[in-house]
């Protein structure tokens, strides 16, 4: 893998991990379209490390506040600021973690085909449209109920299917539960941090267990930096964008990409 390829992979990961367009879909479709080799598990870990760093840095003040509240809960101070949000994040992370643990390998083997990705891109676009139409968009973060949090957590479990998009499905669930768009995005990002961290830890353990060597250190560093920088910018963009805009831009993109993939398959281009 060249440094340029690593930078492009990292930029695609950083951009699509946080925008509601599915990073898994893009990382599968990119080598499929460009004719590049699969970068492998070790590089996948590196890219997720980059996006994890972007999350930690962008929301650094929030993580400190949430961690402080979580420690307060352990000491019996359940009325600490952000205590409920901290507990909701923990509880809402469980469905996604269980889905990954139970079905990750089945999904990897059965649902990574471009046809499946194209259908899921379009299907989630339709879900986003329904969420925009029916959502009342009145709840701020402090008004998120336990029912809201668990609903978004259950929705996150469906993100293991390529083409669905973790941010897409969780933002949709938040809108259905009457969250403001910015609130839905913020809660979505809060939930994604432990999931991404768990995935990085799990895959790192697998690399160590299988004694997989990183033989191209420079491209790996380039990929991490690219994913981290672009991921940070993607978070900043989406948080500001959703304060005054709908998600229809991403709906149109998902439908266009899904149709383009299906046409490429049906016409024999790929």
Mean pLDDT of 250-259: 97
Query: How many angstroms separate the CA atoms of 183 and 67, rounded?
Result: 19
Mean pLDDT of 246-264: 96
Tens-place pLDDT, residues 168-184: 999 999 999 999 999 99
Return the closest-CA partner of residue 125 out of 28, 20, 27.
Answer: 20
Burial class (CB in 10 A: 0-12, 13-18, 19+), 88: buried
Tens-place pLDDT, residues 191-209: 999 999 988 888 788 777 7
Query: Strand, helix or coil at 2?
Result: coil
Question: Model pTM?
Answer: 0.92
Contact 198, 99 (CB under 8 A): no
Report CA 2 to chain centroid distance, whole Å. Answer: 26
Please give the pLDDT value at position 96. 92
Query: How many angstroms separate the CA atoms of 70 and 92, rounded?
Result: 15
Sequence ranges of the domains in the chain: 3-266
Report CA 244 to chain centroid distance, whole Å. Answer: 22
Mean pLDDT of 142-166: 94
Instruction: Quote the mean pLDDT of the chain.
Output: 90
Query: How many angstroms separate the CA atoms of 242 and 186, rounded?
Result: 10
CA angle 266, 269, 270 (to 5 degrees): 85
pLDDT band at 41 (very low <50, low <70, confident <90, very high): low
- Give yes or no for residue 43 having a pLDDT over 60: yes
- Give yes or no for residue 212 having a pLDDT over 60: no
- Give yes or no for residue 3 having a pLDDT over 60: yes
Mean pLDDT of 133-144: 93
* Six-digit token string for 187: 């809660």
- How does DSSP assign 90-130, residue by residue? HHHHHHHHHHHHHHHHHHHHHS-SHHHHHHHHHHHHHHHHH
Query: How many angstroms separate the CA atoms of 77 and 69, rounded?
Result: 8
- Give yes or no for residue 256 having a pLDDT over 70: yes
Element (H, E) at 226: helix 217-241
Q: Which residue has the higher pLDDT, 203 or 26?
A: 26
Please give the pLDDT value at position 270. 67
Please give the pLDDT value at position 78. 64
């Amino acid at each position: 893998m060249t440094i340029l390829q690593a930078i492009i992979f990292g930029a695609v990961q950083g951009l699509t991990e946080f925008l509601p367009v599915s990073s898994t879909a893009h990382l599968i479709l990119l080598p499929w379209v460009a004719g590049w080799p699969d970068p492998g598990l070790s590089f996948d870990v590196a890219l997720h490390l980059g996006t994890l760093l972007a999350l930690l840095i962008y929301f650094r003040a929030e993580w400190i506040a949430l961690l402080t509240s979580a420690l307060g809960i352990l000491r019996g101070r359940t009325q600490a600021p952000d205590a409920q949000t901290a507990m909701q994040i923990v509880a809402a992370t469980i469905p996604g973690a269980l889905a990954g643990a139970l079905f990750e390998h089945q999904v990897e083997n059965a649902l990574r085909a471009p046809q499946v990705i194209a259908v899921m891109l379009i299907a989630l676009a339709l879900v986003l449209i329904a969420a925009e139409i029916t959502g009342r968009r009145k709840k701020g973060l402090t008004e998120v109920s336990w029912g809201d949090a668990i609903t978004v957590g259950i929705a996150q479990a469906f993100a293991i299917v390529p083409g669905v998009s973790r941010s897409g499905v969780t933002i949709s669930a938040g809108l259905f539960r009457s969250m403001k768009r910015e609130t839905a995005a913020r809660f979505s990002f809060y939930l994604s941090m432990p999931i991404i961290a768990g995935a990085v830890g799990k895959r790192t353990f697998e690399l160590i267990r299988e004694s997989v060597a990183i033989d191209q250190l420079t491209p790996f560093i380039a990929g991490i930096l690219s994913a981290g920088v672009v991921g940070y910018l993607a978070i900043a963009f989406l948080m500001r964008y959703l304060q005054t805009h709908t998600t229809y831009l991403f709906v149109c993109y998902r439908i266009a990409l899904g149709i383009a993939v299906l046409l490429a398959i049906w016409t024999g281009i790929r």
